[in-house]
Structure formats: structure tokens, C-alpha cells
Amino acid sequence: MRPALLNPLFARATSIQGVGPKIAKLLDRLVAEGETGARVLDLLFHLPYATIDRRTRAKIAEAPFDRVVLIEADVVEHRPPGPRSRAPYKVLVEDETGDVLLVFFLANHPWIEKSLPVGEKRWISGKLELWDGHRQIVHPDRVLDAEGLSKMQGVEPVYGLTEGLQPRVLGKAISAALERLPDLPEWHPRAIAKMPALPSFAAALRALHRPEDPEAIAPTAPARVRLAYDELLAHQLSLALTREHLRRATGRAMQGDGRRAEKILAALPYKLTPAQTRALAEIRADLASPSRMLRLLQGDVGSGKTIVALLAMASVVEAGRQAALMAPTELLARQHYAGIAEYAEAAGLRIALLTGRSAERVRMLAALANGEIDIAIGTHALFQESVAFRDLGLAVVDEQHRFGVHQRLALGAKGEAVDILIMTATPIPRSLVLTYFGDMDVSTLREKPPGRQPIDTRALPLERIGEVTARLSRALAAGSRVYWVCPLVEESEAIDVAAAEERFAALAQIFGDKVGLVHGRMKGEDRDRAMQAFASGKTQILVATTVIEVGVDVPEANIMVIEHAERFGLAQLHQLRGRVGRGKAKSSCLLLYKGPLGETAKARIAILRETEDGFRIAEEDLRLRGEGDVLGTKQSGMPGFRLARLDVHGDLLKLAHEEARHILSVNPKLEGEQGRALLLLLHIFEREAAVKLLRAG
């Protein structure tokens, strides 16, 4: 059902000449979204994060040092190293103003002889340095003859890589992908009218992959803005369509009698906070009304969302229907189950954990289908076609930023008029909630349950890591459990895994088998196993890349060490810190940074030390980013988006939101020429679930 015009974009990367199975595997790792493997479109959306400017041409005597330059020179003399010498191979070149030594370590002699014939003219590009009073270029990255020069890109894009993938190979594949780019009809004339300088979708991709100058790839450059806007519009359109659909399908009023909820409340060792009570009342009012609920429950990690969800599910069961709670990972599903089963059972609710791997799956499926289970807890396995409910009334989705609209929709389709409650621990700044979630109703848990001890937050320069390990020794002896987070490296995920492995090895030298490791390259089962070992106390230090699941709950964990804290965004630091401070023991968070810190990094740390209020932190984060600090591109990306970034493109969100509403008000079925163009947009950004709804009417 995807328009044929888009087929070239959705072809597998392996259809590109020169991309064999080995390279395809690397591309899968680098650019693929989901399980389908890298496609042409994924390559096109892999945008350069920097450029190398080779346009600076200069006479040798005038060329600037420590920058990439292009010189035109005659090859004068080869100075190969002696036999068995480890010295580099040197080649002297000159123009009428001076000379330069080209230096090659571990050189490929035949290549040098062929590329730099004595007496001929060559164009050489690389970083010019002054060494021992002499000009040199170590490993020039271009040695060209006249023909090569005519083909050289003056401004060369630099891409994020993955281990084993050569920049040249990736560059070629992306070039080939660009050739496949069809001309597409314009989908938003209105926005173009508002932002007159924006190029077309295809022109924007070309401008980014073949930049004319370094500014062309800046996040604020017209081409980036265009693509970000496209993505945001696709998102807003699909949200608006979803909402329309949900609203149109009338719901069923679910009015509980409160008996089971009372039993749950009686079994709880605490009282609900006023915020929880308020949120629950809002949710119950939605459930009781005949229109369908689409509500977001947002609250910091530990703010007590889960119990609110359980009470909401109890209402639904009281009204004679079933409820489902979906977590992003199996581990989290199990955790939810463990956390609420006791209270659910106290109220006579029949609750079951249904995971992809559960041995009793078949029996449980039958029980779900005939209504012997009231509440099912699981992962996306619950969306599978084989899972049928007798009468699903409410679907609760935890940590929605790990899911997409697709899954939410799939869930809604599991029953007749299913109400949907989405729980998120990512506090979205107030100014953005409305647009970000496309008009969803929102309940917020801003205050934390009472009795939490504040987390002692400190910043230390990395050089003082020795003090930290000494302190850990004492803490471990006293039974502490410690997360040690290693940062994400922009350029390559391989490097951050390597950094975590290195830290793991170093800590294991000191603490032996008390140390565990989890990172994003591990298999799901291995990761679960490492998490479990930490949760059970078998290991006491868990070294991790940022994969520590947002919701993972190990109440005994009371120390969080974040290495290279200066590379993390404020919101992310806050999320990570939220992993500790959940139990009775006093908790601390150590931010290890590499100095000197810039103003923004200092401000971030000051805010973290000052408050644990996620909403305040989110607002401050936005403000700090608004001031133009773009440290950590990956971290500042909006969850669920590939091209748009909250820090630079946040304002476009509002525009896209208005545009989406306008479009659907004048063309609710996306018909005619412009409607067809918009369908292309939805497909390109893989929001076709919304397209399906459109058909379903």
C-alpha cells in the first residue's frame, strides 16, 4: 500500500552497488531503524555532523598551519626508509614559494610511488603542520592529479561511523542513495509560503550530503529546517489522525463501584499523595465518560505512576472489562508485575504476566480470551495478533517514548473502544506538552511521595577518580550498590562501548567479580542477566552505557557515578540520577567531569545540585539549550525523531501542529493532489499506521 513512487527509498541498502552483505551488516548497525535492516532512506537520513573544508588553496609559504589546506606542488624527491627501518616514508614536494614534506607511516610503497611520480604536479590536501622547523603534512588525505582535482568535493561531509566501516565506503553508499532519490511533489505549500527560503525535500537532502559550504549542514540551515519540519509535520499529522479516529469511535462508559480500589488502598502501606488522587480522579472521569480516553500521565521517575495505573485498571475491572499494562522491556514488565501483583490480588483481581518467553503462554492466552484474567502485564508481545482479549477496556502504556504511535494504535485495535493511558517519565516542559503530544489530555504528578531522602549531588574533575574508587571501597563494604555510567560518544557507538568495557576492566581489577557490565551492543538476554545480577546483589557495581533502562528499579542502588557528565544533557543527567534515592539508604550522585567546564555545563551542574524536580529541570534545560549550547547532539534529539531536535527545532513543532490541524480541517481524508503528497510524507516518516486509520474511516 506504499505508493510505488517511494519504492526506491525503501529498497534495501544491499540493492546499492558495492554494498555487499558485510557492508550491509555495518550499515544495519549504523543507520537501520527497527528490524528491517538498512534501507536507502536510512542512508539518506544519516546526515553529516561536520564537514572538512578543502577549499583553502594557498602557496606553500603562505598556507596556514594546523588546518586542512590544498596545495599545488611539484614532486621533487622520494625518501623511503631503509630496509627494516620503522621510519616513515617521506616525499618532498615544492612550489615556487617553498617546500613541504609528505610523511607516511607504515607506508604502502607502491601506492606512494604511483601517486607521487617525481617531476609531476599534484594537488595535495591535508593538515599542514610545522615540525622541527619544517613544513609537513602527515598522511595527506588527498593526493590528486588534474582529473582527480576536478572531481574533488571542496567541502566534504563527515559522517558518524561504526567500527569497521570506512568513511569512503559510507560516502559512496550515500552518494548512490542520493541518485535514487525521486522527485516528489511538494506537500506543504502553506509552510513554504511562511518560510520562503526552504528547499524541497529532495533538494534539502542533496544540500546536506553535498554541502556547498560548512554552514550548509548547520541545524539551523534551510535544508535541516526543511527536513525537521517535514518530520514534525508527519508526526503531528499522524497524531491528529489518530486522535480524530479515537474520538470518532465512541467509547463505552466504564463506571466502577470502587470496591476493588478500596481494597487496594487498604492494602497499600502508604496513602496516595494529593497529586496521585487528583490524577486518578481525572482518569476515572475519562473512563466514566462515553468518549474514548487518550490521556498522558507524566511524572518523574519514582513519582508513583504505577499505583495510579493499577487503581485505574481496577476501575475498569469493576466495570466488568479487562485492562492491559505494557512496558517497553521484559524486565520492566516483570518489575511492574512484582510491584503490583500483591495489591491486585488483595483486591481479588486476577493478574498475569504475559511475556514472549513465558512457558505458560498458551494457557494464559486462553485465559485472557475467555476473561479469566482481569489484568495482563507484558511487553509489545501483547500487541501480537495471537493475543486476544475477551473485552479489553483500558490499555496502559508505560514509558511511551520507547514506543511509537504505531504501537499505541495497535493496542487500541485490541478491543472495542479501548481507552488509552500513556505513562511517561520524561517531563516535557509545559510550553511543549500540548504540541508534543498533539492535544492529548495530560495528568501530572509533580510532587514525590513523602519520605524520600534528597540525593547528595556532587561534581568532581575526572582526575580525582582515585578518590571516588577509594570511597566506593568503603561503600561496598557497607552494602552499597553502585551504577557507573559511561557516556555516549557522538562519533561512534563502538567507542562508547569500548569506554565502558575499559572502565569495567579497570574496576574489576579493584573489585573483582563484584562488578557487572551492560551496554547497548549486548544481546537482550545477556543484558537482562547482568541487570538481574545487580538487582539481586550478586554484583554491586554495574558499569553501563546509557542503556540503563529508564524505569529499572533497584531500590538498594544508592550511588550513581556519571563519567564525563559534561557530555550529557541536563534531562538525561536527571533521569540517570533518578535511578538512585529510591530506598531507605542515603544516596549520592557523583558527576565526574573533564574540565575546564564551560558556562552552560557549570549552570547544568548547579541546577542539578539545587533541585530534583524534573519539571523545573526540563524547563531549565530548554532555557539553557535556547541559549545556543548544542553539546551532545544525540542527547538533545527528541525521542522518536530522527532529524528534528528539540533544542533547535522546538519552535517548528508549534508550526507543524497548527499546520496539521489546518490540513485536516480543510482536507480530513487527505484527498486530491495535496492529500496524495501528504500521504507520501506520512510514508516517508513511517507513520503509515495513521494512513491505515484514514482508510478504516
| Smallest separation (angstroms) from Mg ion to the CB of 353 | 16
**Least distance between ligand ADP and beta carbon 40 (Å):** 40
Nearest approach in angstroms of CB 337 to ligand ADP is 12
Does residue 302 bind Mg ion (CB under 5 A)? Answer: no
Q: Is the dihedral of CA 340, 342, 345, 351 positive or negative?
A: positive
Grid cell of 351 as nine digits: 493478574
Which of 154/583 has CB closer to ligand ADP? 583
Residue 307 or 680 with smaller CB distance to ligand ADP = 307
Report in angstroms how near the CB of residue 398 gets to Mg ion at its nearest.
Answer: 6
Nearer to ligand ADP by Cβ, of 382 and 425: the residue is 425
By CB under 5 A, the residues from 527 to 566 that bind Mg ion are: 551
Which residue has the closest beta carbon to Mg ion? 551
CB of 308 to ligand ADP, least distance (A): 8
Looking at the DSSP bridge assignments, the partners of residue 376 are 324, 352
Q: Which of the choices Mg ion, ligand ADP, none does residue 273 contact, using the CB cut-off of 5 to 8 A by kind?
A: ligand ADP
In the complex with Mg ion, which residue's Cβ is closer, 429 or 551?
A: 551
* Residue ranges in contact with ligand ADP by CB under 6 A: 270-273, 276, 299, 301-307, 425, 449
Helix (H, G, I), strand (E, B) or coil at 492: coil
SS3 181: coil
Of 378 and 551, nearer to Mg ion (C-beta) is 551
Residue 301 CB, nearest distance to ligand ADP (Å)? 4
Nearest approach, Cβ of residue 630 and ligand ADP (Å):
30
Which residue, 242 or 306, is less far from ligand ADP as judged by CB? 306
Sequence-separated (6 or more) residues with CB below 8 Å from residue 9? 39, 40, 41, 44, 180, 181, 182, 684
Q: How far is the CB of 527 from ligand ADP (least distance, A)?
A: 20
Selection from Mg ion, ligand ADP, none that 444 binds (CB < 5 to 8 A by kind) is none
Q: CB under 5 to 8 A by kind: which of ligand ADP, Mg ion, none does 272 bind?
A: ligand ADP
- Non-local (6+) Cβ contacts of 467 within 8 A are 460
Residues contacting Mg ion: total by CB under 5 A:
1
Q: What are the DSSP E strand ranges found in 11-120?
A: 50-53, 68-79, 89-95, 98-104
Parallel, antiparallel, or unpaired for β 392-398 and 121-131? unpaired
Q: Of 119, 139, 121, which Cα lies nearest the Cα of 129?
A: 139
Q: What does the buried/exposed string (b/e) look like for 551-575 if buried means 16 or more CB atoms within 10 Å of the residue's CB?
A: bbbbebbbbbbbbbbbbbbbbbbbb
In whole angstroms, give the CA distance from residue 562 to residue 573.
8
The three cell numbers of residue 93 are: 614536494
543 binds, among ligand ADP, Mg ion, none (CB under 5 to 8 A by kind): none
Rg (CA), the chain: 29
Rank residues 551 and 578 by Cβ distance to Mg ion and give the closer one.
Answer: 551
424 binds, among ligand ADP, Mg ion, none (CB under 5 to 8 A by kind): none
299 binds, among ligand ADP, Mg ion, none (CB under 5 to 8 A by kind): ligand ADP
Q: Minimal distance in Å, beta carbon 184 to ligand ADP? A: 43
Nearer to ligand ADP by Cβ, of 165 and 589: the residue is 589
55 contacts 63 by C-beta, under 8 angstroms: no
Binds 270: which of Mg ion, ligand ADP, none (CB < 5-8 Å by kind): ligand ADP
What region does 387 belong to: left with phi over 0, alpha with psi -120 to 50, or beta?
A: beta
Indicate which of Mg ion, ligand ADP, none lies near residue 433 (CB less than 5 to 8 Å, by partner kind).
none
**Cα–Cα distance for residue pair 57/638, rounded to 1 Å:** 40
Nearer to Mg ion, 400 or 636 (CB): 400
The residue of the chain with the least Cβ separation from ligand ADP equals: 304
Give the 3-state secondary structure of residue 66: coil
The nearest distance, CB 273 to ligand ADP, in angstroms, is 4
CB of 425 to Mg ion, least distance (A): 6
- The minimum distance between CB 657 and ligand ADP, in angstroms, equals 27
In the complex with Mg ion, the residue whose CB is nearer, 549 or 566, is 549
CB of 582 to ligand ADP, least distance (A): 6
Nearest approach in angstroms of CB 323 to ligand ADP is 16
Answer with the entry of Mg ion, ligand ADP, none that 93 interacts with (C-beta below 5 to 8 A by kind).
none
- Cβ–Cβ under 8 Å, residues 471 and 511: no
Helix %, strand %, coil % for the chain, to 5? Answer: 45, 20, 35
128, 67 contact by CB (below 8 A): yes
How far is Cα 559 from Cα 546, in angstroms, rounded to an integer?
Answer: 16
Nearest to 630 by CA among 611, 648, 655, 608: 648
**Shorter beta-carbon distance to Mg ion: residue 438 or 551:** 551
**Rounded-to-integer distance, Cα 568 and Cα 459, Å:** 13
Beta bridge partners of 559: 482, 588
What is the CA angle 394-291-390, rounded to 5?
35
Closer residue to ligand ADP (CB): 26 or 425: 425
Place of cell 529498497: 11
Q: How far is the CB of 9 from ligand ADP (least distance, A)?
A: 39
Which residue, 272 or 677, has its beta carbon nearer to ligand ADP? Answer: 272
Contact 424, 353 (CB under 8 A): no
Which residues are 667's β-sheet partners?
none
**What are the cell numbers at 443?**
495528568
**Helix (H) or strand (E) segment spanning residue 541:** strand 541-544
- In terms of CB distance, is 423 or 607 closer to ligand ADP? 423
User: Of 160 and 304, which CB lies nearer to ligand ADP in the complex structure?
Assistant: 304
Q: Which does 545 bind (CB under 5 to 8 A by kind): ligand ADP, Mg ion, none?
A: none
DSSP secondary structure letter of residue 18: T
**Nearer residue to ligand ADP within complex by CB, 428 or 648:** 428
Cell 504476566 maps to which residue?
353
DSSP state of 534: H
How would you class 523 by CB atoms within 10 Å of its CB: exposed for 0-12, middle for 13-18, buried for 19 or more? exposed
To ligand ADP, the closest distance from the beta carbon of 379 in angstroms equals 16
Which residue in 163, 117, 124, 118 sits closest to 143, CA to CA? 124
Buried/exposed 443-474: b ≥16 CB within 10 Å, e otherwise = bbbeebbeeeeebebebeeeeebeebeebbee
Q: By CB under 5 A, name the binding residues for Mg ion.
A: 551
